[in-house]
Chain A
């Protein structure tokens, strides 16, 4: 049942808002922001991130003179794929079937959840090991499995930690980046009751070893291994997963059943294309040349194979993406989830991922989230940007994120979702700005008064109506007379 040619999803309501899916808290963005700014653990973590990832990326790029050409090549691959998405998805499906696997199409989160649960039930699964998957987060699969008697076990260290803490990820590639090692130690002490209570958990290495020893037995218990996919290769029907911990390998080769959950835009034509994208992915994400583990899986165990699952399923999810094709947000589908735009964003670096209120954060989240769960609940996100352009500068896929943030603002303005006071203020200002003579009269008077009031000190600590400005900074006083009035004087009344 390939839906292939992307078409609008029949569900009008955003799938992620249904059932037991992760509810967005984006409406509370302002409160989330305030909490994030006051959270010293988070601020320390963000400071470490701001100095770590960008510097490592810079060094990796400096070591590779052809990086810019590689970005172009990687972008071009995705541009081509998106123009021929149905053909490549069909080819991928055919190859997976040739290899003995199964492909399932999910229109939305609910369908994807039911497919996964169905597969688990068919094999009587009690435990599912999971490697990190943003799509897994997007469809809130863990909650769904739990509610239906199947225990999901995250095997990526960061994901494991946040699973224990019942938190969503705060970063695309570093889901527990918001936590200090003390917080992680506290969580382990509480949950891992099998270890002596007084053990030392100071060193990150010790924490890692403890998580590993707990997870080891879980790998062997699992009936189903659930992974995401960094790419789907149409030519070979392969699924590509990269990790730095090797956890995806154990997740997919030990259990009887391997289930892959991936969204439609993950497909690439050939293995060569996949390697081109891998080369920009790791450098952009962590500054590594390659991630430590890159795993290609192409189907169930064949006769004579030493390991591998008996059954192999790929679930391909749309969840609103086909609606983005050909529209204002088409280019967002090039995203490879490297996280570079988060690491370089002054807003993300100030508030972290949770403030964005849903699965995706940073500039890519501010563009993508309204596409997936609707603009009404997420309207704050596209506005919470200075449009500084740093994200577009470093995005390996050259996605024009600022342009798309502005598209959302245009939609809000056109559909009157912009707050009425801002709208009225904008209209009044524009009315004046379109009437130069009137504008000069109004601004000239105002500046003369402000200039006089501020002359001695040169600035204001507070002033009515500009509380937003003076909350954090003084307002510099204007010189007084405007340029236009002085210019007119200087040129004897003409310009």
Chain B
């Protein structure tokens, strides 16, 4: 690790901000434990992907400008999501094809942007996760994390340090869960069919916990698991790695417990 502490701007992501702050705090803890100075720039709301993927490039560009400005002061931008990190890293520069000055700023930000587990593993070279979490887990590879950010081995390498945890791979771990942002509400039948196949695959592993690095996928899969009455707990990988599983019940489970209460 470099001499000076790395300054990290946490890109919280809109879903973590709204739905599951525990993931944000877990990310802060992991980054701080690894020696980074973490800030949470106030100018952020969302990465703009809903607008971008709906073809609204004007709004996507405006939101991108806001994010670019908000994170200009930090060494690195880290997001607990492969999807949002992928948006900043691979798509922001494309939004400013007609504006070389902005494109340069977007490129600069893209070069400093990372998904959380790959940042911990590949950049900070974290290898000493010392937590205990007894579970038979399986992992869902979010599409953008996997295909745009190269996230595959990093979360697994980090989880290998978790005492009591075994990982049972699903045959279809790399297959899309059918979330797709607004896709899941625009095409509910198709999305429902895809997530059902994902849930079959998760169940077939015999795991009692599903982990992943993207809250969008996890909300989708957890929602379907619970609809089908499954007791499989769903969590963001950061919660386990940061030993923060007591901070919130698993996704889609309440104080009343995991049953269909």
Give residues in A with beta carbon < 8 Å to B: 33-34, 37, 346-347, 350-351, 383-390, 392-393, 406, 408-414, 418, 422, 426-427, 429-430, 432-434, 436, 439, 443, 447, 454-459, 461, 466-469, 471-479, 481-484, 486-487, 495
Contact = CB atoms under 8 A, between A and B. Distances in A.
B19 A478 contact: yes
B245 interface: no
A15 B21 CA distance: 54
Given A383-B186, A483-B16, A469 B254 contact: no
B176 A458 contact: no
Interface stretch (B109-117, B129-137, B158-166, B192-200): B192-200
Contacts of A487: 21, 24, 40
Interface stretch (B98-106, B119-127, B143-151): B143-151
B55 A468 contact: no
B142 to A, nearest CB: 9
Contacts of B57: 410, 413
Closest 5 CB pairs of A and B: A472-B192, A386-B180, A458-B254, A409-B55, A468-B185
A388 B18 contact: no
A200 to B, nearest CB: 35
Contacts of B190: 33, 37, 347, 350-351, 384
- Interface of A (DSSP majority class): helix
Contacts of B224: 472-474
Contacts, number: 215
Given A473-B227, A476-B219, A387 B180 contact: yes
Interface residues of B, number: 74
B21 A436 contact: no
Contact of A413 (B19, B43, B56, B252): B56
A281 B62 CA distance: 42
B21 A479 contact: yes
Given A426-B50, A482-B21, A412 B55 contact: yes
A476 B184 contact: no
B210 to A, nearest CB: 13
B37 interface: no
B93 interface: no
B58 to A, nearest CB: 9
B12 interface: yes
Given A350-B193, A473-B220, A479-B19, A454 B186 contact: no
A476 B222 contact: yes
B56 A472 contact: no
22 contacts: A37-B193, A347-B190, A384-B183, A386-B143, A386-B176, A387-B180, A413-B55, A414-B55, A427-B59, A430-B63, A455-B254, A455-B255, A458-B251, A458-B256, A468-B184, A468-B186, A472-B192, A473-B192, A473-B226, A474-B226, A483-B17, A495-B41
B249 A483 contact: no
Nearest to B46: A433
B254 A475 contact: no
Contact of A459 (B63, B191, B195, B226): B226
Given A479-B21, A483-B21, A434 B251 contact: no
A484 B256 contact: no
A370 B255 CA distance: 50
B16 A430 contact: no
B253 interface: yes
Nearest to B176: A388
A474 B252 contact: yes
Given A387-B180, A458-B249, A487-B24, A476 B223 contact: yes
Contact of B56 (A430, A432, A447, A476): A430
A176 to B, nearest CB: 22
Contacts of B56: 413, 426-427, 430
B19 A384 contact: no
Contacts of B25: 483, 486
B254 A406 contact: no
